[in-house]
Every structure is written in structure tokens, then in C-alpha cells.
Chain A
Amino acid sequence: MGSAPSLDEQAYVRAGATQTAVKILVVGHFAVGKTTFIRAISEIPPLSTEETMTRAGELFDDLKGVRGKTTTTVAMDFGRLTISERVVLYLFGTPGQQRFVQMWEDMARGALGALVLVDPERLADSFGVIDLIEQYGLDYAIAVNRFDGTRDREERALREALDLLDDTPVVPVDARDQRSSADALITLVRYLLDRAH
């Protein structure tokens, strides 16, 4: 980098809220609406990181190639929401790809829980993500994009297909809509709170 990017004041965490930083994962398969969801909730424009390595040595070997060869991959998007005078919440979104092992470990460690976005037309694409979330021992809720939650039959079929526990929340979400996205997040946090008691 040539020079430091200059950021406006809003880019920084509000002074008091630096006491407690927490995170929730927003996961789902490619193009299910994770970035849209994070944008709807986040107080900063979503940021992304590039990840190239699972171990330091691999990075160096990978970059031996000619300049211009693309070795970095955008691995996650994230946003931020100041919750209170004390707490700042980060939302990390990533597709469920096993190859980003280091990143998944970083993301999952200490996370409060995960919201899994699923597309009812592509349920099978969500299996891998849910496997990963369970593998890391995270509690989760399912948010279904473009889903009419009033139809019990559809919800039963979805629960069966995803092999969900009876108490795992399933909520409809329109990731483009702030209120709808917030409701899904609130459902998750209420569930996490129930589990914590």
C-alpha cells in the first residue's frame, strides 16, 4: 500500500463501545444474499478481506508467480453495528468453503452464534455451510430468503431437508430490507439467549 487510506470519523468505533466487541456469523452458499444482509444492518459500508493462505509458508510459495497472477481471494465480507455505549457487534459473512480453514477458525472462535441464510430453491447448496457451523459447535438459526413463512408444509419440508433440531429457529427474511434482516438477527439472538440459560 502506498499510503494509509484516510477514513472519516464514522469509520472508527465509537469511543465507549470499545469495551466489548462481539461477533455473529452470517453464512450461506454463494450469492444467497449475505452481503446484502450485512449491508442492510451495518453502520459502515461492508468491508471485505482477501485471504490467500492457511499457513504462512503457503502464502509465500503461492506468490512466487509472475506479477498479475491473481492469488488473493475475497474470503469474507463484514459489517459493524454499535449496540450500546459498551458493545460493538461485528457481522462476518462468508461462503461455506472448506479451503478457508484458517479463516473459518478465526471467524468461529468466540462467535456468539450464526445466522444461516438459505435459498429454498437451492437447499442442497446449504448442506456444506451447516456442516461447517455444526463442526465448529456454533448455535444457529436459519433465515430463508424469499420464503413465505406462513406455509407450515414448506417449513416442515425445509426442516427435514436440512435435518434441523426441533428448536432451531426458521425465519423468513428479505435481505434487502433492514427491518426484515434485523428481525432475523433478533430471532437468532433470542434463541442464543434461551440456549445460554
Chain B
Amino acid sequence: MTDYDELGPGAADLVRPYVITKGRGLPDEKQLSLITLVTAAGDEQQRPTSLSPEEQNLLELCTAGYLSVAEIAGHTRLPMGVVKILLSALTERGYLITRPPVQRAPLTDRHILEEVLDGLRAKFG
């Protein structure tokens, strides 16, 4: 077992990241967390051709269902920061729907923890 898998050079290495992000900087951190769930919005046919190949690919990846921001970065092998920038730009333009994690609060925490505990016991107990 290794913590650092030997990954081959991804396509991300071939283009400087600011080219992929069209010079955009990091989005507001509150907008997208690692576990914000993302899916494509609306009709594929209505997508403009003005999207970059990377944006097209991200939209395509998100068409079949929900994935977390972290999973999208993992599947595309793009750096997390680049993925966040691209996803938030796509969201701003209405191509993606995002579902942020629930805000932490004592009461919701208890309910969620109880549900997680019950779920783990049901699966593995």
C-alpha cells in the first residue's frame, strides 16, 4: 500500500493551469466544498459551443448524475483548485446545479450522526 500512487503525467500537465481556467482566480471558498454535490443542469442540446474542452468534459462527466467536487477532481485528475474554478464558472452560467453540504449545527449534527451510526451498523454490523 502506498499513500502516493505513482500517477502518470495527466493532460493537466500539458497546459498551464491559468490557460485552462482562462485566467480566473480561485472562487469564494464558501461556494464549493470538497463534498458539494454537482450535476449538469438542463438540456445538453442547449449547451453553447463557446465552452472550452475542459468545461465541456466537466459538463459531460456531470450529466449522468451527482458527483462531489472531490470525485470530479479525482476522475479528471485536474488539480482541485482548477476544478473548483471551472465548476464555479459553469455554475454561475447556469450549466451546473450544486448542492452544498448542510450547515453544521448541534441539532442537525446529532441527527446526522445518529443516521450515520445506524447506517454503518446496518451495513457492517
Give chain A's interface residues, CB within 8 Å of chain B.
1-5, 7, 9, 11-13, 15, 18-23, 30-31, 33-36, 44, 47-53, 55-56, 59-60, 63-64, 67-68, 70-75, 77-78, 80-81, 83-84, 86-90, 92-93, 95, 102-103, 106-107, 109-110, 112, 178-179, 182-183, 185-186, 189-190, 192-193, 196-197
6 shortest A-B CB distances, which residue pairs? A47-B74, A12-B65, A182-B124, A83-B119, A4-B57, A4-B60
23 A–B contacts, CB within 8 A, in A order: A1-B11, A1-B12, A1-B78, A2-B53, A15-B65, A31-B1, A34-B3, A48-B5, A50-B7, A51-B81, A52-B79, A56-B26, A59-B17, A59-B81, A64-B16, A68-B13, A72-B12, A83-B116, A109-B33, A110-B35, A186-B125, A189-B113, A189-B120
Residues of A within 8 A of B125 (CB): 182, 186
Complex Cα distance, B3 from A33, in Å, reads: 8
Complex Cα distance, B118 from A184, in Å, reads: 14
User: Once the chains bind, are B76 and A1 in contact (CB under 8 Å)?
Assistant: yes
Within 8 A of A (CB), among B71-125: 71, 73-81, 99, 101-102, 104, 106, 109-110, 112-121, 123-125
Complex Cα distance, B78 from A22, in Å, reads: 23
Q: Closest approach, in angstroms, between the C-beta of B71 and any C-beta of chain A?
A: 6
Q: Closest approach, in angstroms, between the C-beta of B9 and any C-beta of chain A?
A: 7
User: Once the chains bind, are B13 and A21 in contact (CB under 8 Å)?
Assistant: no
Counting residue pairs across A and B whose Cβ atoms lie within 8 Å, the total is 204
Complex Cα distance, B114 from A31, in Å, reads: 31
Chain A: CB-nearest residue to B63 = A4
Residues of A within 8 A of B104 (CB): 110
User: Once the chains bind, are B67 and A49 in contact (CB under 8 Å)?
Assistant: no
Residues of B within 8 A of A92 (CB): 34, 70
B2 CB within 8 Å of chain A: yes
User: Once the chains bind, are B35 and A60 in contact (CB under 8 Å)?
Assistant: no
User: Once the chains bind, are A59 and B79 in contact (CB under 8 Å)?
Assistant: yes
User: Once the chains bind, are B33 and A110 in contact (CB under 8 Å)?
Assistant: yes
